[in-house]
Structure 1
Amino acid sequence: MNDKTMEILEKYLDKDFRVSPMAPNKSTMSGIDKMQKDLGIQLPEEYIAHLLGGGSEVLGERGLYIEVKEDVWPRPKQYDVGPFWSFLYGIHTFTASKESEDWMRLDAAGKDFLEETGIKAVPILRIIGDADVYCVNEAGKIARYNHEENILEEMEMDFWELFDRELKALRERKEKKIKELNK
């Protein structure tokens, strides 16, 4: 499967965004296979392509932290209030690299998710500021975790469609935030 990460990033991101890889590219298919076995989850092929990175020298390991730069979208302060969307200034995907911080690692996030929710699934994409997270369930399907009901809601899309949709939404929120700040 071809990695479409760069193609999708280039479609939506501009100078107002910062993209940070989370670890050096040391993921291997055998390491991903072991992690899947340990967690009892089968990741979709397109997510595995994202994890392996397609050899991008720019991004290295795929566990990406994508945010609107703070000078464009100032970070909320404690006790700030506003519409929900105004706190959602970035997204991140999780990584298979053991060299990444636990909060970004698929294996650690998967174990934590199971302990906290009782649901066997692995987080793959998070919108910063949102308590819900996109996961892969036991059947290898992408689902959105609804934290209020503690359930997974299966989605009829692959990882590329999800990544594209969420980057587009992030760009739209950025444009809305810029308009709001310039009033």
Structure 2
Amino acid sequence: MDTLRLLLVDDEPHILSALARQLRFHYRQDPRAIVIDMESDPTRALALIEERAYAVVISDYRMPDLTGVEVLTYMRSTQPQCTRLMLSGQVDQDGLTKAINSAQVHRFLAKPWTEGALVDAVESALAQHHAARVEVELLDRARSDQGEISPQELERRRLERLEPGLTRVEFDRDGAYVLAP
């Protein structure tokens, strides 16, 4: 069974702790392996998105440096099967429009949230993630069966979904691999 990763992004550490505590309590006996990553700096959250595959990301709307819409829009472009949730104490009409149109958020959670609302949103997000992942895998297999993509490309796509960035390789002018510092 694959490990499901959740990313929580909020510039307020006590909010991150409260979210994580409630989710860990809820999933403590769940047979699914759920790992929760937390980040209080949205810029560092973008780096995590490059390194790890996430099933669900919950981001606060208002944060310094980057908004939640920017974080979730980046997530959408990097890991489209990841389900995105927005957390906010307040959101303006423009922010709501951007969250829906740019980041394609699955649900909004209001601050303060109830444990039931949080769990329901995450359960719905996990189901959405599973459905999106199955759809992509089926489409890729069909493309491979029809000869549109090679078996090697099918495997590359599978590995990239599991570990984002794993298959991105840079070469120098002589054709040698360039290793990251």
Please give the range of the TM-score, normalised by the shorter of the 2 chains. Answer: 0.3 to 0.5
Q: TM-score, normalised by structure 1?
A: 0.35
Q: TM-score, normalised by structure 2?
A: 0.35
Q: Relative to total residues, which structure has the larger helix share, 1 or 2? A: 2
**Which one has more relative contact order, counting CA pairs under 8 Å at least 6 apart?**
1
* Larger-Rg structure: 2
